[in-house]
Structure 1
Amino acid sequence: MSLPDKGRSTEELLAEIARLKRDDLPVRGGKVTAYVYDTGRPEVHEAAARAYFEMLEVNTLDPTAFPSVVEMEKQVVGAVAELLGGGSGVFTSGGTESVMLAVKAARDSRETGGRPRMAVPVTAHPAFHKAAHYLGLAVDAVPVDPVTFRASPGGVEAAITEDTVLVVASAPSYPQGVIDPIAEIAGIAAARGVPCHVDACVGGWLLPWLREAGADIPPFDLSVPGVTSLSCDLHKFGYAPKGASVVLFADPAMRRRAYFASASWPGYTVINATVQSSKSAGPLGGAWATFQALGREGYLELGRTTLAAARELREGIAKIPGLRVLGDPESALVAFGSTGDDDGVDVFVLSDEARKRGWFLQPQLSYAGIPANIHITVTGVTLRGVEAMLEVIAEAVEAARERGPAELPEGLVELVAGLDLDALDDAAFGELAAAVGVDLGGSGQPEMAVVNAVLDALPADRREAILIRFLSVIYA
């Protein structure tokens, strides 16, 4: 792109955006089962979009300059605290930032003799690894039960050392949608004098409504003794526009540990509640408007339909030969994999076949003894199309069975495993990918079975290095 000599009209720009988006996955309708959350109520999303635009140019950097920011944030955070056991909190741009602040607060609240450490289940979100990388902590992996996929309390106990500053649990964990034994884990942490963070980014704003709709949801929030902080994304099951999350702290003193202030320069006063400094109040306005547009009755009804859709989906998948649901998910996240017998299928090929039929089913790589699988996020709109989704899954299973597993060129995995990535520039890496049928610069929705099969065969650290190169080539 080069900057145009003369400004273009709004009509031209919108037409260009439409062209650029032609290969994007649809954000409405329920056929994309990850990344987007749809109420099925256009008027709610319209209200949020208009409020977002109204607050777009308001800068949250200085709350004394824009009092609307303070009032909106207090209302939004207050609603989250009321639903999730109290506490005080911060409105953030997403789950990763919420986690980052929780980790910072825990690190800064405890003196350690060595490098500060976190005890983190292998099913916890990579945001904790990202926070550890940015903030200089070490991560001690906690195993999960191979059948239920819930974090092991005994594993947590074994992972805590004198340098542990935070214990993590999930409600639910994203991969299989199950809730860790929060009360046990928080109790162990409290007995050792260590803060405990519950990552409820994906479930925090959903689980209470599922419970009210009749689901058996165990206690998981700040009302549980020993839970000291909790993250809850509003742009997931709160259905707010992207860029909306809250991190809650049981103790206001811990929240202050998340803040950053600097007086070591001659410019304006710097005091930040989040990682970002200047940022638009648009996401805050959108979250506030979504809360107001739906209200308790709206969220409860969405909880009922989500619960019904998740149950119907789990039961339907269990009836398809060759598939099995992983674990017993309490939430609206469903993961299923191959039975591994003669009727089993390659889940990566299954995902590609579903995409050909207009449905995006998210593939997940194997890790820590958990097999490769397909992940589906059930939202408020899913119930309308759950029968169609099950039909597509069944069709994709048959097509995947007919195609067979993804075929990898002989020696490809060994080649990738042994690559000296530092010796390859992005152009050379792209050419190498194209040579095995992976076009990183193409348009449309690519087939990913081969890529996922290669990644699945590599250890985690090698996967990470390859993924970084993929991203670098895509944006080159």
Structure 2
Amino acid sequence: MLLKTHLQLVTGPVDRVFAGKAPWQIVAITTTTVLGAVWLWELLNEDESIYSRLRRKFFQLARKVPAVQRKITTEINQINDSFVRDASQYGKFTTVLPNDGLHHDQILQKVDDYLSLGHYKWKEGFISGAVYYYDQDLVKLVTQVYGKASYTNPLHPDVFPGICKMEAEVVRMTATLFNGPKEACGTMTTGGTESIMMACKAYRDYGRSVKGITKPNMVLSVTAHTAFDKSAKYLGIYTQTVPIDIASTKVDVKKMERAINSNTIMLVGSAPNYPYGTMDDIVAIAKLGKKYNIPVHVDACLGGFLIVFMRRAGYPVPPFDFSVDGVTSISADTHKYGFTPKGSSVILYSDKVYRHHQYTVSTEWPGGVYGSPTVNGSRAGGVIAATWATMMNFGFDGYVETTKRIIDTSRYIESQLRKIGNIFIFGTPATSVIAIGSKDFDIFRLSAELNSLGWNLNSLQFPSGIHICVTYMHTQDGIADKFVNDVRSKVALIMRNPEKPVEGKMAIYGVAQTVPDREIVGEFTKCFIDSMYYTVEETD
């Protein structure tokens, strides 16, 4: 009787709603209610916040207003024209094949001409990052090695077993440097972006296979490399970004924990991060991974081949590698501080179970069973051989020596910059990146002023900043002092009129931060990329 009474409390309102309704009306109301409930549930349970979705929708609608659309088009065209003007300064382009092939000496002369374009003195140490080592003897070695292996392809291990052996040795040597267990494994890739993408792919597929996750997300700091966002776009993963602690510029681990949910396939820590060169608390992140049974990836693409040698070079460094319980993968670029030719990186895993999910295997193709370890099918055996040769050339002690010189120089530059008034250093740099900001003037003015002296630095946003990534070239006599003295003199010049706005290209970069509709900034970026493919036809 009591149960019947309780049922009537539920069924009574339903009966009253449907009283006197035709069958088709009952079906329509029921269907609408169910679909509406499902829609509301999905709306409230999306990883992206309702605010973000409404904000994006608002700007999409605003861009459809004719007056707004015309204004945006005008601005984009102006930006595009400026990029095209910059690209056209390099002269005419060859747009059709020559009827007869050029002689080798002609080709080599053209290569020299093309490589002489641009005005930055990168060999002398005037740029931030980009090229991490340059030595004629090493260039000669890798050129010979690459030439010998230039037509090899590890896609065919039966034809080129020696290249596959070299790749396996590069992976194993790198895993040893990062204190990998006996089960540690990995592959070489074409760069940090592919290494990161492979980790994301592995954990997406692992999460789907083992945990049944169909709407994957990754939790990472706002300072994590944008390659994670790029990978997420390719692989259908949502990026749940976490703010940093303002003082330390490290990821806020407590907020990282709050961002974790049942769809989280991986946690990310940087060692160090790109913007500020500071290192996240890998131990704390790994503890979260263990607590929630989530894989933890350490991105050491930028400084990996420094941090593994820093202790031996006399510099303490917090735990960051496979010795930390909970770390399941590490990405490290050999073509940065490993000093190998470009197009070389390593992705490592603590266990084969993760690497297996990185692979792509097709078993039903008429062309045969096809398996590929990375994004590419065919891969450049020459790069693998050149990477192997470079690592063998330096050896452990050689890398310790270069690491000491680079970190010594970085610490010196940092200490001297901290003595200059009106600027500040973001956080405490862990390796070779030193980020500079100012509360007294637009920091992009300093970047522009240094650019006029031949320096090329990297620009940061949210908040505005610039950084220098110290390489082996900066360890040359006098380069560090010249940089510090140039910063000091230009800051003094700027402080004569600190309110003066920045001009030129850096003004565009500064203004871009203030544009609330980031889709428009994206259009500007597409124009810049387009300009790299802009050609002016060669005429007779």
TM-score range, shorter chain: 0.7 to 0.9
Q: Which residue of the partner structure matches residue 145 of structure 1?
A: 245
| Equivalent residues of 1:406, 1:449 under 8 A apart | no
8 Å contact from structure 2 (residues 313, 404) kept in 1: yes
Q: Given residue 475 of structure 2, which amino acid in structure 1 is its aligned partner?
A: L
Question: 1:332 matched to which residue of 2?
Answer: 432
- Equivalent in the alignment of 1:29: 124
**TM value normalised by structure 2:** 0.76
1:93-104 aligned within 5 A: 93-104=190-201
Aligned equivalents of 1:11, 1:257: Cα separation in 2: 48
Q: 2:529 aligns with which of 468, 471, 476?
A: 471
Are positions 1:374 and 2:431 aligned together?
A: no
Q: Which residue of 2 aligns with 1:360?
A: 456
- In structure 2, give the amino acid aligned to 1:465: E
Distance 2:213 2:337 in 1: 40
Whole-Å separation in 2 of the counterparts to 1:150 and 1:280: 37
Give the match's secondary structure for 2:188. strand
How far off its partner does 1:15 sit?
2.1
- Aligned: 1:248 with 2:359: no
Instruction: Give the gaps of 5 or more residues in structure 2.
Output: 1-94, 535-540
The answer as to whether partners of 2:121 and 2:454 remain within 8 angstroms in 1 is no
Distance 1:279 1:66 in 2: 12
Q: For the Cα contact (< 8 Å) 1:346–1:400, is it kept in 2?
A: no
* Per-residue deviation, residues 332-388 of structure 1 (Å, max 9, x unmatched): 1111111x13xxx32222222222212212222x22xxx211111112232221111
When the two structures are superposed, what TM-score results if normalisation uses the length of structure 1?
A: 0.86
The correspondence of residues 40-119 of structure 1 with structure 2, limited to 5 A, is 41-86=135-180, 87-111=184-208, 112-119=212-219
How far 1:268 sits from its partner (Å)? Answer: 4.8
Secondary structure in 1 matching 2:468: strand
**Which amino acid in structure 1 is aligned with residue 197 of structure 2?**
M
Asked if the contact 1:349/1:405 (under 8 Å) is kept, the reply is no
- SS of 1:118's equivalent in the other structure is strand
Give the whole-Å Cα distance in 2 for the aligned partners of 1:376 and 1:265: 49
Q: Shift in Å at residue 403 of structure 1?
A: 7.1
Show the counterpart of 1:287.
387
CA 1:313–1:3 in 2, change beyond 3 Å: closer, same or farther? Answer: same
Tell me if structure 1 keeps the 8 A contact 2:253–2:285. Answer: yes
Partner of 2:265, secondary structure, is strand
Question: Cα distance, 1:402 vs. partner?
Answer: 5.5
Task: Describe the SS at the equivalent of 1:106.
Answer: helix
* Partner residue in 1 for 2:397: 297
Q: Alpha-carbon deviation of 1:52?
A: 2.2
Q: Which residue of 1 aligns with 2:58?
A: none
Q: Is the 8 A contact 1:88 1:251 kept in 2?
A: yes
Q: For 2:300, which of 197, 200, 218 is the aligned residue?
A: 200
Partner residue of 1:166 out of 257, 266, 272? 266
Answer yes or no: is the 8 Å Cα contact 2:266–2:297 preserved in 1. yes
Q: Give the whole-Å Cα distance in 1 for the aligned partners of 2:368 and 2:129.
A: 41
Change (3 A) 1:64 1:240: same
Give 1:320's aligned residue.
420
Of 354, 373, 391 in structure 1, the residue corresponding to residue 485 of structure 2 is 391
User: Rg larger in 1 or in 2?
Assistant: 2
Letter in 1 for 2:331: S
Matches within 5 A, 1:224-239: 224-239=324-339
2:104 corresponds to: 10
The aligned amino acid for 2:109 is A
Secondary structure of the residue aligned to 1:334 is strand
Q: 1:461 to 1:223 in 2, by over 3 A?
A: farther
Structure 2 Cα separation of the partners of residues 29 and 79 of structure 1: 31
Deviations 1:286-312 (CA, angstroms, capped at 9, x unpaired)? 111111111111101111111110111
Letter of the 1:361 counterpart: L
Residue identity in the other structure for 2:384? L
Deviation at 1:152, TM superposition (A): 1.3
In the TM superposition, what is the alpha-carbon distance from 1:140 to its structure 2 partner? 0.6
More deviation in 394-403 or 103-112? 394-403
Deviation (angstroms), 1:404: 5.5
Structure 1 residue 311 corresponds to structure 2 residue 430:
no
Against the structure 1 CA distance between its residues 4 and 382, is the aligned structure 2 distance closer, same or farther, given a 3 Å change threshold? Answer: same
**CA distance change for structure 1 residues 406 and 130 in 2, over 3 Å: closer, same or farther?**
farther
> How far, CA to CA, are the matches of 2:141 and 2:396 in structure 1?
17
Kept in 1, the 8 Å contact 2:129–2:471? The answer is: no
| 1:416 aligned residue | none
Distance 2:429 2:390 in 1: 27
Q: Deviations over 1:395-442 (max 9, x none)?
A: 33344445766758xxxxxxxxxxxxxxxxxxxxxxxxxxxx9xxxxx
Q: State the secondary structure of the residue aligned to 1:212.
A: coil
Q: Which residue number in structure 2 is paired with residue 133 of structure 1?
A: 233
The one-letter code matched in structure 1 to 2:389 is A
> Which residue is equivalent to 2:321?
221
TM superposition shift of 1:469: 2.5
CA RMSD of aligned residues (A): 1.9
Distance 1:174 1:252 in 2: 29
SS across alignment from 2:424: strand
Q: CA deviation at 1:133?
A: 0.4
Partner of 2:8: none
Matches within 5 A, 1:405-416: 407=501
Q: Deviations over 1:150-173 (max 9, x none)?
A: 011111111110010011111011
Instruction: Verify the 8 A CA contact 1:346 1:401 in the aligned structure 2.
Output: no
- In structure 1, runs of 5+ residues without a counterpart are 409-436, 438-446
Match of 2:510 among 445, 453, 465: 453
Measure how far apart 1:258 and its partner are.
0.4
Deviation at 1:269, TM superposition (A): 4.1
Matched, 1:350 2:407: no
Q: 1: distance between equivalents of 2:117 and 2:457?
A: 16
Deviation string 1:231-258 (CA, Å, 9 cap, x unpaired) is 0000011011101100000011111110
Residue 262 of structure 1 contacts residue 269 of structure 1 at CA under 8 Å; is this kept in 2? yes
